[in-house]
Amino acid sequence: MRLSYSETIRRLPPPWAENLLPGIKKAFAKINTTLVVMDDDPTGCQTVHDIPLLTAWSPDLLREEFECSPVFFILTNSRSLPVREASLLNREIARNLRTAASSASRRFMVISRSDSTLRGHFRAEVEALVEEFGLERAVRVCAPAFFEGGRFTIDDVHYVREGEQLVPAAETPYAKDPFFGFRSSNLKDYIVEKTGETTTREEICSIPIQRIREGGPQAVLAGLLDCPDGSFCIVNGCDRRDLDVVALALLDAMGQGKSFLFRTAAAIIPALFGQEPRPLLKARDFDFPGRGGGLVVVGSFVPMSSRQLSNLVARPDIRAIEIRVSKLLSVAGREEISRVAGEAGRRLAGGQNTVIYTSRDLVTGETSGESLAIQARVADGIVEIVRNIPAVPRYVLAKGGITSHDVAARALDVKRAVVRGQILPGVPVWSLVSGSRFPGLPYIVFPGNVGTETSLAEVVDALRA
């Protein structure tokens, strides 16, 4: 059932008033444990700042990160893979993490970060990490809230805010995803659905928002300690302060020997180590290495992305170049890559903000595996186009999680980057470090399902010379 946002929030108890961040920082330091976020696309850094990200995960690279970073992300891009390959990739990274952490003499905890609209390899990735890390007794914390993107969990039901309405997630276009569709908005039912009914509703715990707001950390701690070993636990939340309460309770529970594995969206990540929010970034916060125009790459097909794209390309000062997917998938693919890269290079060198985007007719196969294979071929084409653009752009903005990963890791040769902060709520900006094609380049990761119809244009406006 759809709810009124303002009425629903008004009827809830007020958030916990005490500022818990100092206590969280102390508790995080006390457990002396590195927080590792395994992100299934590059958008999960949308709530943090000054945190490193890795697109590679050899034991040596991971050991170096363990030795210098209390928190870091590994960008797995596993949402772009079929389920078997995603599971194997999670297992490989888990083994490398164990090896690296042992070498660096560091303990660590893991967040399996996934989509705030419930898309992803829920069962396969959770099971792979449980087995590889030996976490059979760990409570699986399910917390998909992401407030900057309008994702709220109330009475165990996950909602997507659309204007003044809270829409149950299963009633949104995201639930119709050709690869990761789902029927259930109630997270207990969602977990049962995604685990193939190997879990029952009665076995799933939850932390109600009333307990969080009225009882505070001690009440939540009691609820967490009561969760049976190996159970799922749903975390409700409508405000960052809700997750601060939960985070402090989780850290206290860890201090008492309780173990957890996290399957969450982005909101709980800064709460777990007590990071203060930072004001939104402005153009003056960057040193732009290139003097050409800004390059915007749009691959996402979710309806909001298409509406944002239409709003941007309608502006007279934007040069838009369509990547014809039918051509890209045909024998004329090389010709299409050359055409788009050449035209984009000329526009950028002339100082024009340039958008390259995939044609909006979604091409799918008869099975989800065939559809993923088509998606991979399109991604390969986008990577080749960006790699073949000769001009150095003022910045690069990539729209869509998989597109963002492929452009960064494969077209710009990013192995490591640092999150500078956000330019809009939920829209992170990276600074590319040495070793990438354009060190110092601002790289904007714009999730497909974030923002309003004008948000993409607002970012381009904010980054004008």
The predicted pLDDT at position 347 comes to 94
Contact 150, 158 (CB under 8 A): no
pLDDT, mean of residues 378-395: 92
Rounded-to-integer distance, Cα 134 and Cα 11, Å? 42
Rounded-to-integer distance, Cα 169 and Cα 183, Å? 9
Contact 70, 51 (CB under 8 A): no
Tokens for 220?
A: 């939540």
- Band (pLDDT 50/70/90 cuts) for residue 288 is confident
Residue 332 has pLDDT above 70, yes or no: yes
Tokens for 346?
A: 């000329």
What is the Cβ-side half-sphere exposure of residue 409, based on CA atoms within 13 angstroms? 19
Residue 372 has pLDDT above 90, yes or no: no
Tokens for 55?
A: 């697109």
| Spatial CB neighbours of 321, under 8 Å, sequence gap ≥ 6 | 340, 343, 344, 347, 354, 355, 356, 357
The predicted pLDDT at position 244 comes to 98
Give pLDDT tens digits for 411-432.
999 999 999 999 999 999 999 9
Residue 210 has pLDDT above 80, yes or no: yes
Residue 290 has pLDDT above 90, yes or no: no
Q: What are phi and psi of 84, to 5 degrees?
A: -65, -45
The predicted pLDDT at position 465 comes to 61
| Spatial CB neighbours of 331, under 8 Å, sequence gap ≥ 6 | none
- Report the amino acid identity of residue 419: V
Strand partners, 396: 295, 443
Closest CA to 225 of 259, 263, 268: 259
pLDDT, mean of residues 327-331: 87
Burial class (CB in 10 A: 0-12, 13-18, 19+), 446: buried
Q: How far, in Å, are 79, 243, 253 from residue 218 at the CA level?
A: 36, 14, 10
Residue pointed to by tokens 């959770």: 126
The predicted pLDDT at position 432 comes to 92
Rounded-to-integer distance, Cα 263 and Cα 129, Å? 11
The predicted pLDDT at position 139 comes to 98
The predicted pLDDT at position 16 comes to 98
Burial call 128-142: b when 16+ CB within 10 Å, e when fewer: bbbebbebeebbbbb
CATH of 283-462, one of 3.40.50.300, 3.30.930.10, 3.40.720.10, 3.40.980.20: 3.40.980.20
The predicted pLDDT at position 197 comes to 83
Counting residues of the chain whose pLDDT is more than 90, the rounded percentage is 81
Looking at every residue in the chain, the average pLDDT score rounds to 94
The domain at 3-273 falls in which architecture? 3-Layer(aba) Sandwich (3.40)
Q: With H, G, I as helix, E, B as strand and everything else as coil, classify residue 34.
A: strand
| Spatial CB neighbours of 248, under 8 Å, sequence gap ≥ 6 | 20, 23, 24, 27, 217
The predicted pLDDT at position 367 comes to 76
Give pLDDT tens digits for 178-187.
889 999 999 9
- Band (pLDDT 50/70/90 cuts) for residue 215 is very high
The predicted pLDDT at position 200 comes to 94
Angle between helices 368-387 and 333-349 (to 10 degrees): 40
- What DSSP element (H or E) covers 375? helix 368-387
pLDDT, mean of residues 335-343: 94
Q: How far, in Å, are 40, 194, 222, 230, 394 from residue 135 at the CA level?
A: 20, 19, 21, 8, 45
Give pLDDT tens digits for 429-446.
999 988 889 898 999 999
| Spatial CB neighbours of 93, under 8 Å, sequence gap ≥ 6 | 38, 57, 74, 76
Give pLDDT tens digits for 85-138.
999 999 999 999 999 999 999 999 999 999 999 999 999 999 999 999 999 999
Closest CA to 463 of 435, 441, 447: 441
Counting residues of the chain whose pLDDT is more than 70, the rounded percentage is 100
Domain with CATH 3.40.980.20 in the chain: 283-462
Give pLDDT tens digits for 20-54.
999 999 999 999 999 999 999 998 999 999 999 99
Domain with CATH 3.40.50.10840 in the chain: 3-273
Tokens for 66?
A: 């363990």
DSSP code of 436?
A: B
Rounded-to-integer distance, Cα 187 and Cα 99, Å? 34
